[in-house]
Structure 1
Amino acid sequence: MCAKRIPGTNTGDFNEITNRLTSRDFDILESLEKYKIMTAGMIEAQFFPSRHQAGARLLTLHELGLLERWRSPESKAYRYVLAWRGQCILALIRGDKPPTKLAGTHAAQHQFLSRNRPHTEGINAFFSRLHLSARNHTDVRVRRLNEELWITGIVPDAQGDITWADGTTLRFWLEHDRGTETLAYLAHKINGYKERDSRRPAEKASVLLIELPSERRLRNFLPIATKTWKDESIAWRSPRLTVAVCASSANERTCTNPETFRDAITNPHWHILGRTTTHSLAELPAIVQEIRNQRTEI
């Protein structure tokens, strides 16, 4: 039998907030600071065993004034962002000056109304699915990395790595495609990553992951992307960049019903350019090394 939920009160009482917050709550606040905006499904995938538990706790954090939530007319799913009080809590933890209430409220509302919100949510859904998979595999850790300085005129949508208990690491760049660019333009981005790879050949090998919104777009994209990937006129001195492409479902792109998702790390649904079979992210570290070794021997 589930314990009865104790509602929160949005009074700003410091004692109530500190007495009610758990370590998981602080993790949720920090995750929202990094991801900017998330649905309940994304937060559930990262932190909760069920939709009911996620919904109940998020409601309490909203009642305490730590999270703000809205939903648009076309979607019934709430979007959660850090409310002003949640921003203040994280600032106090770091020893920073908390934002004013006006600035904090403006920042929260901007995340919901931003034109980039669908793209941001798609990227966040991708990482949430990785975190969900890692929770089911105790020997796996997933991190979303901070942006680095890029010198080739192209910046990834996100960067991250997956690390296994034996020390194996898959570092990746992510391009999240929403179907708003031409396939030729999307494929051309591969050249920017190849050039970047050639300028820093001593660094740990990385993989470019490209996520597409449909199987049809994937089928049309693969031959164009493969031709670009094989073009030796770009960055010919570098070990060949590994590029993996997949299509995600509508539910996966919005992180709806995460309990129904295929395993994001072990399911073999990634097409590796230059190969005829699909592979999982767990298989990619060995493939990356194999491709780089083959390129070095040429």
Structure 2
Amino acid sequence: MAGRNTNPALLALLAARLTTRDRDLLRAVWENRVLTTPQLTSLFFDSVHAAWKRLLTLSELGVVERFRPNLPPGAGSSPYYYVLGQPGAAVLASEDGVDLSAFGYRRDRALAIAYSQRLAHTVGVNDFYTDLVGFARRRTGAGLVSWWSERRCGAMWGDIVRPDGYGRWKEESHKPLDFFLEHDTGTETLDRVVRKLDGYADLTEGSRIVTPVLFWVRGERREANLRKRLREHSAARAVPIATACRSALVGRVDDGPAGELWLPLDVPGPRLRLARLALHWPDLGPRSPSSARPPEDAP
């Protein structure tokens, strides 16, 4: 991944070579730190072949840089992972009307994800995001209306809580569902995972906006143990919670995180589609003034 100097001549060349989709792709890579070939295919392309061809061109232009992580012997081959290149950062900085230093890009930091212990976690979060977008591109009436990456969530709420993502999902006639995502890879203790609820309870109380927290868990046994611990935590009464794992699929069609995988903490079942969580919790969103008053018979 050789470095390239950014100069006016190169920026002029890129202005002529980059399409609107290319610029959206660069923005997505920057916002989400690293995206793989399958993830970028889900977001922007109709076929893997088309993605490969365009991503090779973007790599040759230097606007993205790519790597393959080292895998254990026998684990097979890995797709390419893409991070923002310095010329790509210069393009985005120009769009934003700031210089490169104000934009916040540093090549060494962009490439550091390749060696980070959080690489698998970041890619897992981005799988969730791109699976929803990919589903919406195939299904009329579905859409990920908003998605905030971990980077953006940290900038917004980092002094209280640091979600792995924040989204708004809409499918067919269902009310839109706003949610926080916690992607659990199984590497943290359950105590540490459950303590995150304290921050979400504080955010709910301070903002007076009720937003569910969705735990996307690695396996069903881990999910069952997590649910038990969550129910025992006092903050679970202040925040709507649902858990899911892909192996808990109901039915024969795998719609990914949009599908019938979600189990609210307040019921034993059945599992619901992501969009139906908004129906299960009808009081999501801003609390009304009346909801803040105690009942008349309260002491």
Do both share a fold (TM > 0.5)?
Answer: yes
Q: Distance in 1 between matches of 2:172 and 2:218?
A: 32
Q: Distance in 1 between matches of 2:28 and 2:183?
A: 20
Q: Distance in 1 between matches of 2:87 and 2:186?
A: 37
Residues 94 and 58 of structure 1: CA distance in aligned 2, closer, same or farther (over 3 Å): same
Q: How far is the alpha carbon of 1:32 from its aligned partner?
A: 0.7
TM-score (norm 1): 0.78
Partner of 1:39: 36
Residues 22 and 121 of structure 1: CA distance in aligned 2, closer, same or farther (over 3 Å): same
Which one of the candidate residues 81, 87, 91 is aligned to 1:85? 87
Residues 15 and 198 of structure 1: CA distance in aligned 2, closer, same or farther (over 3 Å): closer
Q: How far is the alpha carbon of 1:128 from its aligned partner?
A: 0.8
Task: Report if aligned partners of 1:46, 1:132 keep a CA contact under 8 Å in 2.
Answer: yes
State the secondary structure of the residue aligned to 2:66.
Answer: strand
Structure 2 letter corresponding to 1:22: T
Deviations 1:60-83 (A, max 9, x none): 110111110011221522110011
Q: Distance in 2 between matches of 1:36 and 1:282?
A: 27
Partner of 1:108: 110
Which one of the candidate residues 243, 246, 254 is aligned to 2:244? 246
Which one of the candidate residues 256, 266, 269 is aligned to 1:274? 266
Task: Report if aligned partners of 1:133, 1:265 keep a CA contact under 8 Å in 2.
Answer: no
Q: Distance in 1 between matches of 2:110 and 2:204?
A: 37
Partner of 1:5: none
Partner of 1:256: none
- Are 2:197 and 1:190 equivalent residues in the alignment? yes
Q: Percent identity?
A: 28
Task: Report if aligned partners of 2:67, 2:81 keep a CA contact under 8 Å in 1.
Answer: yes
Structure 1 letter corresponding to 2:136: A
Partner of 2:228: 223
State the secondary structure of the residue aligned to 1:160.
Answer: strand
TM-score (norm 2): 0.78
Residues 196 and 104 of structure 1: CA distance in aligned 2, closer, same or farther (over 3 Å): closer
Partner of 1:257: none
- Are 2:212 and 1:207 equivalent residues in the alignment? yes
Larger RCO: 1 or 2 (CA < 8 Å, sep 6+):
1
Q: Distance in 2 between matches of 1:269 and 1:183?
A: 21
Counterparts of residues 66-81 of structure 1 (less than 5 Å) = 66-74=63-71, 76-81=78-83
Q: Distance in 1 between matches of 2:261 and 2:217?
A: 12
Q: Distance in 2 between matches of 1:216 and 1:57?
A: 41
Which one of the candidate residues 2, 20, 25 is aligned to 2:22? 25
Q: Which moved more, 1:143-152 or 1:32-41?
A: 143-152
Count of residue correspondences: 265
Structure 2 letter corresponding to 1:144: W
Q: Distance in 2 between matches of 1:291 and 1:87?
A: 38
Partner of 1:117: 119
Q: Distance in 1 between matches of 2:174 and 2:24?
A: 25
Gapped regions of structure 1 (runs ≥ 5): 1-9, 250-259
Gapped regions of structure 2 (runs ≥ 5): 1-5, 72-76
Task: Report if aligned partners of 1:179, 1:212 keep a CA contact under 8 Å in 2.
Answer: yes
Q: How far is the alpha carbon of 1:278 from its aligned partner?
A: 0.4
Superposition RMSD in Å: 3.1
Partner of 2:3: none
Q: How far is the alpha carbon of 1:50 from its aligned partner?
A: 1.5
- Are 2:157 and 1:149 equivalent residues in the alignment? yes
Partner of 2:130: 128
Task: Report if aligned partners of 1:271, 1:277 keep a CA contact under 8 Å in 2.
Answer: yes
Residues 269 and 164 of structure 1: CA distance in aligned 2, closer, same or farther (over 3 Å): closer
